[in-house]
Structure 1
């Protein structure tokens, strides 16, 4: 084969091995790149990525991970090498711009079977609001400057005290995940516990780079995703191949994903 034809053949093979449907292409939101297995949760008829890893881009600047109870967590970063995503509670500005009494409304929870999980880098702090009795355990400190409450509120850096909310007659107890390294440095040199700075530091979730459900699709040369059923509603599994999405597997053979299984 002439050298020029050989070069063209090699380039075509390389392109085919690394090509993917346009639906699975990368996107951007602000200064963050959204790449497989994450995807932008939009009104489009199909999405390429793993279930539970859909993100929303607001005003082309702010990347949001929707959570339970319609609560939102802002994505501050995604590390595709370590399979980590970093989140910050996206509470209302007036609830977060106080150094003494941050008002959180929701406990962070992860659905069973979710692709996202808390990591060993995470820890918890718990806020107890409007308590009828004085909280006395060593890890708890009283919050000041809570004008919406007429009783005492507290924050605890210890674990296992959530059930104490009823014992002390607290109106609410909210557990917030934070990075453990920030929690350990929460007491600054002046002796003030800087809760808001720790909350703004966010926390880390890990995600699996592969999915049991999507494995067969990826090994066949496809990219896992979901399609909206325009007739019956709902969302169904799809395997995105070079020729378009299918409900089964691609016919193009084994892809580069297979080396990771």
Structure 2
């Protein structure tokens, strides 16, 4: 009886492995369009492509059903069902330009209660240190950072008078000079490195232009797979990269193996 049970388990495992292999080498994962974006590995289009076309973290939802009257354009695609809206993807240097919808669709005072690092805690994406940073500070025992602009957040949770300034280098822990935040509450929002802050009203525009995110820990060398004539795949169950080759072969790296 034990031997029969073991044999059944082995056969089931073989069938499951064959089914998974067939799925990973089946439907094409050719680059797809979403608005002005080209979606390819490690990204994939949720609802339009099989999940094995990219890494689970990089699922893109394309909401391109514009208002037929033309009055309202579709919002930029979202990343993995989050509040991040993708504006551009740069595959050459593994970076994304995105903005956080919660920060755009509210006043600047919302940013005083926001922590970008915690919103990306389980992601393979990191906020680039190349960004500049909008620094919100309040209740400072010393003079606020040079060039700060007042922001009235009275009536907002944790409100009162805050000061807004622009740091040329983004650091989620605040300014490098401790003297700038002695006795202060503060929050930092990343913005693109060439941003300029002339008045507090510039906040919405700077946030909507987005900030840089970078990825480095994605399994597999997709460029090498493509160069060998294959298409990139990701098996979420095995948490492994695969290269789908002509003839239905699935190789661990390239089609030259």
- Same fold at TM > 0.5: yes
Corresponding residue number in structure 1 for 2:134: 125
For the pair 1:213 / 2:220, whether they are aligned, the reply is yes
Listed as ranges, the gaps of 5+ residues in structure 1 are 1-19, 255-261
Contact 1:107 1:174 in 2 (8 A): no
Corresponding residue number in structure 2 for 1:157: 166
Partners of 1:175 and 1:56 in 2: how far apart?
A: 27
Q: In the alignment, which of 100, 111, 114 is matched to residue 103 of structure 1? A: 111
Corresponding residue number in structure 2 for 1:64: 78
Q: In the alignment, which of 216, 229, 235 is matched to residue 227 of structure 1? A: 235
Q: How many residues align?
A: 214
Once the 2 structures are TM-superposed, how far is the Cα of residue 245 of structure 1 from its aligned partner?
6.4
Partners of 1:218 and 1:112 in 2: how far apart?
A: 29
Partners of 1:132 and 1:211 in 2: how far apart?
A: 42
Query: Superposed, which structure 2 residues align to 1:6-155 within 5 Å?
Result: 22-41=27-46, 46-49=51-54, 52-58=57-63, 61=74, 62-66=76-80, 71-79=82-90, 84-91=95-102, 94-95=105-106, 98=107, 101-103=109-111, 105-108=114-117, 114=124, 118=128, 120=130, 122-128=131-137, 131=139, 136-148=144-156, 149-155=158-164
State the TM-score, normalizing by the size of structure 2: 0.60
Once the 2 structures are TM-superposed, how far is the Cα of residue 36 of structure 1 from its aligned partner?
3.5
Partners of 1:143 and 1:246 in 2: how far apart?
A: 57
SS, match of residue 195 in structure 2: helix
Contact 2:45 2:62 in 1 (8 A): yes
Partners of 2:179 and 2:84 in 1: how far apart?
A: 27
State the TM-score, normalizing by the size of structure 1: 0.60
Once the 2 structures are TM-superposed, how far is the Cα of residue 143 of structure 1 from its aligned partner?
0.9
Once the 2 structures are TM-superposed, how far is the Cα of residue 27 of structure 1 from its aligned partner?
2.3
Corresponding residue number in structure 2 for 1:241: 245
Closer/same/farther in 2, CA of residues 135 and 102 from structure 1, 3 Å limit: farther
Corresponding residue number in structure 1 for 2:256: 253
Listed as ranges, the gaps of 5+ residues in structure 2 are 1-24, 66-73
Contact 1:73 1:89 in 2 (8 A): yes
Write out per-residue CA displacement over residues 60-108 of structure 1, whole angstroms, 9 at most, x where no aligned residue.
Answer: 5431224xxx85321112355676532112216641xx4x645362324
Closer/same/farther in 2, CA of residues 84 and 248 from structure 1, 3 Å limit: closer
Partners of 2:205 and 2:99 in 1: how far apart?
A: 11
For the pair 1:177 / 2:177, whether they are aligned, the reply is no
